[in-house]
Amino acid sequence: MAGAVACGLGPAQAASSGTVVSATVPSATNVDASGCATGTPDVTDFGTVLPGSTNTTGADCTVLFGSSNDTARLDLYQRDGTGTAMSGGWGAQASGTGAFLYGVDAVDTSTAWAVGGGIYATTNGGVTWSNQASGTTELLVDVSAASATRAWAVGSNGAIVRSTGATWTAQNSTVGVWLHGVAAGDANSAWAVGDSGTIVHTADGGTSWVAQASNTGAELDAVAAVDASTAWAVGAGGVVTRTTNGGATWTATNPTTTPLLGVTAVSASIAWAVGWNGTILRTIDGGASWATMPSTIGATLTNVSAWDATRIWAVSVTGQIEYSTDGGATWRIQPSGTTQTLTDVVATGAATAWSTGWNGTILMTPMLPVADFSAGVNDWSAGSNVFAACLRAVSNGATTSTGPTPAATWAPNTGCSTSGAWNAVPATMGAGSKVAQATTSSTTAARADLRFGFRAATNQAPGTYLADLVFSVTAPNV
């Protein structure tokens, strides 16, 4: 019999797969700085401070912090990161005129021009302003400077005048309409805009001005130049028109129907426009889209000026000034000290600017810088003025002497006497900003009590001085 080969088949092998179910639980943090509310007398408001006097707050600025499931650290630093914790608010300068001033521009914190019922110039930061012969009988309403020796001003009946320093001479704009705005791209190029969509341009320092097609018939009230190629103009009916090729072509859009009165730009992509009823618009894509920003002022905003992509000022008909340090996402009122209509503003630094307005108003910020505390350098016994913070006490699980590196660098100073430990408030979060820590997990109400100190110089300019500070909590404590 032939051999047989048998083959047996068992049960089929089942197919299999798998999965991982995950969940991430973050470190929870909490901070309560209601005990340090803005404007609280003798806590965050020194009140009236006499020149040459040293002042410390007499009640605690109390901050509660922690984490329900982790260790935590408390930091104190400057909101705008400019490097000086307290800066002067806006202070008035003696313009030498009672005329309405409609425009201002500056090349730095020393040299600026204001125009209105004349031309007024300063070369010493506004300590003095001098009246310069304008070279025209027309009313001038805007000014733009490319350098200390090259500036243009524009106004009624097509007036354009140019400065080479202290001397202004009239130039032929080739138009007879009101010119409401002017912007220099560089020492040779500039644009002026006005009624009926008028745009004129020079590429030779003003020897000749040539009309350009704005692609709108609307009144154009303001223009901002990024360089000799890129400029933006805004005006009636919410029109915005832009060029990136020196004005060979302008592209007009209407992101709003609200009249726009001011514009500022830092690049071919990023610009802001302001206008009636507190309107603030921002584009970050060259004007393809515009977003409405949340203004803190409901009144008409007359102009706007950006120092960079994050720091911007806007001024209003009510004399209010608002300032943003995050590109316009949020705005804060800065005390201006005036109720005069403000017509223009120009940024000269991250924390410095000029503004002009009715009845000869000229404002500048800051009036006089306030030094940050530095033991043995800028402290209560040396220097002309100083701002500092003191950690009076920690409790409820808050400590300063233990914890991971870096440990909190602020030492408690019971009573916050000027002979004890005081601290500068640093520009940004880091080792020097760590006030206290909660080294035990689930401590949710660790407590830090702080006080502040301010000494005014004997020549401290009158005005309101502000230290815009941030308390932040991070977990874990690192």
Strand ranges for 226-372 from DSSP E: 231-235, 240-243, 251-253, 260-265, 271-275, 280-283, 291-292, 301-306, 312-316, 321-324, 332-334, 342-347, 353-357, 362-365
Which has the closest alpha carbon to 92: 461, 341, 385, 369?
A: 461
* C-alpha span between 333 and 33 (Å, rounded): 20
- Around 165, how many Cα atoms within 13 Å sit in the side-chain half-sphere? 0
Q: Determine the pLDDT at residue 2.
A: 44
Domains of the chain in sequence order: 30-87+371-474 (2.60.40), 90-365 (2.130.10.10)
pLDDT tens digits in sequence order for the chain, 478 residues long: 444 444 455 556 678 899 999 999 999 999 999 999 999 999 999 999 999 999 999 999 999 999 999 999 999 999 877 778 887 778 899 999 999 999 999 999 999 999 998 999 999 999 999 999 999 999 999 999 999 999 999 999 999 999 998 899 999 999 999 999 999 999 999 999 999 999 999 999 999 999 999 999 999 999 999 999 999 999 999 999 999 999 999 999 999 999 999 999 999 999 999 999 999 999 999 999 999 999 999 999 999 999 999 999 999 999 999 999 899 999 988 889 899 999 999 999 988 999 999 999 999 987 667 899 998 889 998 778 999 999 999 999 999 976 666 666 799 999 999 989 999 999 999 888 999 999 998 899 999 999 999 999 988 877 788 898 999 999 999 8
Q: Determine the pLDDT at residue 351.
A: 83
Alpha carbon distance, N-terminus to C-terminus of the chain: 86
What residues form DSSP beta bridges with 423?
389
> Is 229 in contact with 185 (CB distance < 8 Å)?
yes
Task: Give the global pTM.
Answer: 0.77
Q: Determine the pLDDT at residue 102.
A: 98
Which has the closest alpha carbon to 194: 220, 215, 233?
A: 220
* C-alpha span between 286 and 213 (Å, rounded): 19
Q: Determine the pLDDT at residue 5.
A: 45
pLDDT in tens, 254-266: 999 999 999 999 9
Q: Determine the pLDDT at residue 251.
A: 98
Which has the closest alpha carbon to 255: 216, 225, 303, 229?
A: 216
* Edge-to-edge strands, sheet with 112-116: 101-106, 112-116, 119-122, 130-132
Q: Determine the pLDDT at residue 331.
A: 94
Q: What is the residue whose two structure tokens read 């020079």?
A: 202
